[in-house]
Structure 1
Amino acid sequence: MKRDLDNLMEERDLDAILISGSGHDNPALYYMTNGASLLHGHVLKKRGEKPVLLCSPIEREIAATSGLTVVNMSRYDYLGILRETKDQLAAAIELYRRIFADLGVSGRVGFYGTEDRGRAWVLLNALDAQLEDVEVHGDFDVTPIDRARTTKDEAEVERIREMGRRTCLVVEQTIQFLKSHRVQDGILVQADGTPLTIGRTHKEIGRRIAEQRMEDPEGIIFAIGRDAGIPHSKGNPQDVLALGRSIVFDIFPREAGGGYFFDMTRTFCLGYALPEIEKAYQDVYECMEQVIAAYQVGVEARRYQQMTCEFFERRGHPTIASDTQTESGYVHGLGHGVGLAIHEEPRFSDVPSNTDTIQPGHVFTVEPGLYYPDQGYGIRIEDVVWIDPAGRVQNLTNFPKKLVIEL
């Protein structure tokens, strides 16, 4: 949470942090500005002090909605600097020099946010070389802002819960849309007799997402048959909706205009399911129930990935625990944090560098799956859960898990 930032900065020996970039698709800046809808901005926080927001004069009123102290960038006269230096890099260095001098920044400064990688590399190296009182710092792995965002307060959880309610409604509307079609020769057909396709279903889902004041910047997964056996295949738009084949529907929308994500997956078959699909589905379902029941505060997150692999291997499925390159069976991680980014901490990967432990305030997915593309099917079930302040697991995904959609 934001209240942890000073301690996180102290752990990294940071005297200040600067978060910069676009106001869109920039979770760190969105988080620090409390969702102010800026085109571009900077948030500067000195350790032990409240953050300030630096913005263009044309965005000063939007910036004021952040609740932060606002510093108008016009006071640093960037245009005048640029006219004098006639060089964008030199002007940027002088701009930062003026900002840091004005706000009393010196020492070790962490730089975060979004920027073109090449441009950021040039700028940060130049700042490190030319600003005598500033040591530029960056993080390759989890940043202090990432770590603060890992635990959600109750206001954040309520926004995610509301997103879950809307997302579940879209899934139900999609199922009703499928059921509204008639069956002909083993496939769903539209009123004009043409087959219902994956592409047409994608369009319907997109419309329903928009109606719920959400957006899908990462797209959706609605894939059938072999494509369902490839975890991140979004589905072939030309494929028809055939009975008896597994369909993986993974939907991960965000609040319209930027904000918090939700993420859920259901797998179903239209009309009936083949025995091998029924068995795989039951294995995934039972694995999920067992893992959710086992979550405990303080336990390493990677232990639950190990538990999942052990469960599936006992059921005779290959997993990435025994073959890190397998493309059949259980082939991915158990889950990930959800918030202002669709994938964030905590991480569940079973690698030595993952030291995340389950903590109150964590919001994350649980998404075991089995994938057999050569046999023409895949299964994944996914819920979002929250570890509440008392350490209890609360499932934020209020939607049934049922394999067969009766037509």
Structure 2
Amino acid sequence: MEKDLSALDSALDSMGVDGFLIDAASSDSDQLYLSGFDAPDAFTTLYADGVHLLVSSLEYGRAKKESDAETVTRTAEYNFHEKVSEYGWKEAEMRILAEFLADRGVESVAVPERFPVGTADGLRDVGVSVSPEETDVITEIRATKTDEEIEHVRVAQKANEASMQAAEDLLSSATVEDGILYHDGEVLTSERVKEEIEVTLLRHGAALDETIVACGVDAADPHNRGSGPLKADEAIIIDIFPRDKASKYHADMTRTFVKGDPSDEMRARYNLTHEAFDAALEAVEPGATGTEVHDAVCDVYENAGYETLRSDSNTETGFIHSTGHGIGLDVHELPKVSPAGGELKPGHVITIEPGLYDPEVGGVRIEDLVVVTEDGYENLTDYPIEFVLD
């Protein structure tokens, strides 16, 4: 995957440092992006006239084959065990790292704001200048996706849609007894629907740690994961945000369903949220800001008499979150589609997810995943938006 790291070069020049250093496992998305290497234990990536890795002997062979690095070096090449015997484990690691940097002409490095303090202090003790970066430059670079990255998100979204269909099928085939949903003679619970979602995702090469299947009052809290029996005539929010196991890229989608007959107020809230959703999409184009897209949603809700965080920053009901967020290696990343949202650019992959919430009524949310293009946007979501299930 061809990455444009010119912004990183500019940032290092402005800071007057020789390189950029990351000390983390690939669970850190900036590490995975810059190194192109997936490893469960921490390793070192240096950016200085190219990408250079310092890894253990265990990971050396795989790093040479799989990473994006120009060079891959083993700690053993710096007499690791002899240094451990002489200096102890931690100081040995720092001396090896300092030699690794010196071999590449690096005496000063910028590091992420959350860089390990022990590594920073250890490097300073052996004469390397360490400065926290002034901007989250890798995170900002990651916001603009290549065609290959967009395809990774698209694949993750296909798995997402399969799992949403499995969840919807469970709700559609459920029967109702005393206001409770049943499936195959057993109470249909949030946990049972989540299980179906997770199993379906695995069959499509994706996975997640948690998802949202929230009914009734639970659905009035946007991040309530939901639990217990699902009820007829009440809104059920299903929000699925899986990660493709091969590429590590995420998708995200939300639908709100009712099995039965929703109240007139709930229907009105759903229809209004669909209107807000359409208004947000209409506002998405290169050069627009995330703020402008968010404002389009707030306008719809406020004109209908509902509170938003724009009209009342302390409101606990109404539209109580941002319109969306970037998605990629992290499920929440830049750009922001919020009051603080900056300019949208081609290659930005964002969610659009307006919603209304009130514990006395329930919650509704609709969410699609789109990529900003040169002349507007492409919706990466191919799943129907419907409310009431037969």
TM-score between both structures, scaled by the size of structure 2 = 0.92
Deviation at 1:384, TM superposition (A): 0.8
Please say which of residues 26-35 and 317-326 is displaced more in the overlay: 26-35
**In the alignment, is residue 333 of structure 1 matched against residue 336 of structure 2?**
no
Q: Does the residue aligned with 1:320 lie in a helix, a strand or coil?
A: coil
Deviation at 1:281, TM superposition (A): 0.6
**In the alignment, is residue 180 of structure 1 matched against residue 203 of structure 2?**
no
Q: Does the residue aligned with 1:269 lie in a helix, a strand or coil?
A: strand
Q: 1:394 to 1:137 in 2, by over 3 A?
A: same
Give the aligned residue type for 1:187.
I
Paired residue for 1:19?
22
Equivalent runs, 1:95-134 vs 2, <5 Å: 95-107=96-108, 109-112=109-112, 120-128=116-124, 130-132=125-127, 134=128
Deviation at 1:124, TM superposition (A): 1.5
Aligned-residue identity in percent? 30
Deviation at 1:267, TM superposition (A): 0.7
Deviation at 1:322, TM superposition (A): 2.1
**In the alignment, is residue 205 of structure 1 matched against residue 197 of structure 2?**
yes
Give the aligned residue type for 1:62.
R
Q: Does the residue aligned with 2:187 lie in a helix, a strand or coil?
A: coil
Deviation at 1:96, TM superposition (A): 2.4
CA contact (8 A) 1:27 1:340 kept: yes
Equivalent runs, 1:235-384 vs 2, <5 Å: 235-236=226-227, 238=228, 240-256=229-245, 259-351=248-340, 356-373=342-359, 375-384=360-369
Q: 1:11 to 1:299 in 2, by over 3 A?
A: farther
CA contact (8 A) 2:143 2:335 kept: yes
Deviation at 1:113, TM superposition (A): 9.1
Give the aligned residue type for 2:123.
L
Give the Cα separation in 2 of the matches to 1:187 and 1:402: 21
Q: Does the residue aligned with 1:347 lie in a helix, a strand or coil?
A: strand
Give the Cα separation in 2 of the matches to 1:82 and 1:257: 36
User: Could you report, residue by residue, the CA deviation over 1:127-181 in whole angstroms, capped at 9, with x for unpaired residues?
Assistant: 33x344x4312247x5111011010000000110111111111111211122233
Pick the aligned partner of 2:159 from 152, 160, 166: 166
Paired residue for 1:136?
130
Pick the aligned partner of 1:227 from 218, 223, 228: 218
Give the Cα separation in 1 of the matches to 2:301 and 2:13: 42
Q: 1:381 to 1:12 in 2, by over 3 A?
A: farther
CA contact (8 A) 1:9 1:144 kept: no
Q: Does the residue aligned with 2:140 lie in a helix, a strand or coil?
A: helix
Give the Cα separation in 1 of the matches to 2:375 and 2:54: 38
CA contact (8 A) 1:19 1:113 kept: no
Deviation at 1:98, TM superposition (A): 1.3
Give the Cα separation in 1 of the matches to 2:239 and 2:281: 19
**In the alignment, is residue 401 of structure 1 matched against residue 385 of structure 2?**
yes
Deviation at 1:271, TM superposition (A): 2.2
Paired residue for 2:93?
92
Paired residue for 1:59?
59
Please say which of residues 51-60 and 2-11 is displaced more in the overlay: 2-11
Give the Cα separation in 1 of the matches to 2:241 and 2:179: 30
CA contact (8 A) 1:222 1:234 kept: yes
Deviation at 1:382, TM superposition (A): 0.7
CA contact (8 A) 2:75 2:96 kept: no
Pick the aligned partner of 1:216 from 194, 208, 233: 208
Number of matched pairs: 385
Deviation at 1:38, TM superposition (A): 5.4
Paired residue for 1:145?
138
TM-score between both structures, scaled by the size of structure 1 = 0.89
